[in-house]
Amino acid sequence: MSERPLILVTNDDGIAAPGIRTLIEVMSDLGDVVVVAPDSPQSGMGHAITINSTLHLEKVVIDDGTQPEYSCSGTPADCVKLAVNEILDRRPDLCVSGINHGSNSSINVIYSGTMSAALEAGIEGIPAIGFSLLDYNYNANFEASKSFVKQIAQNVLNNGIPKNVVLNVNIPNLSQSEIKGVKICRQAKANWEEEFDKRKTPQGKDYYWLTGKFVNLDNGEDTDEWALENGYVSVVPVQFDLTAHHCIQQLNTWKFND
């Protein structure tokens, strides 16, 4: 009798967040689930890892306690490293991260703790997916996400994805009947026009809140932003190789040490 797939579940909103509880529920239909997730919110941590302080793991029971769950004091990337090296007795067949409360489309993938956990799994050679719902509300309704999360994860288990490639999945904040389907996309060219809201403490010391406006600079109809704006789930294959390969030939024309 073959083993059920082993699925590692993590996130960046914290182990008790509604998004990860939904993801655990869906993944339990597909395989044996082990959860290793931060003990507190880690949004916007990117690919940070803990190197100057100790890390702590605590086995916890949440919901019905049918799957092993560990709360980690570190970042999402730390969670995956600890899971692979200290907790799991075999390599996972799949790592899923999320469901994030809020978008990780286009430029947001750079800052995302959700996607960094998935990318860390990709570095380890584990097929991985980051899931996000375009609703920042802690009490967001993830019901419409479930069928798409299950379909996409099942496809990865059935078909595989190229080694070191990770899927970035964003789901529009619509009812299931309003979502038109799934589109495979490229990452849109977009950025944040950032500002800092400068304030003073009662003691007269300056402090800052980061604010900004998201600006889509891409008019293409093959991007994640277009798909989401038009009612589709976007799926973008991403990788951790940041080399600008098209630039190597040009740089080789430079003269050095003359």
pLDDT mean values, one per 10 residues, the chain (258 residues): 85 93 97 92 73 88 86 92 94 96 92 94 96 94 96 97 95 95 94 84 88 81 95 96 93 88
Pairing outcome for strands 32-38 and 6-10:
parallel
Return the pLDDT at 179: 97
Q: In this structure, what DSSP letter does residue 5 have? A: P
Q: In this structure, what DSSP letter does residue 230 have? A: T
Q: pTM of the prediction?
A: 0.91
Residue type at 120 in one-letter notation: E
Return the pLDDT at 1: 39
**CB distance 95 to 117 below 8 Å:** yes
Q: Where are the domains of the chain?
A: 6-188+220-243
CATH code linked to domain 6-188+220-243: 3.40.1210.10
Return the pLDDT at 42: 74
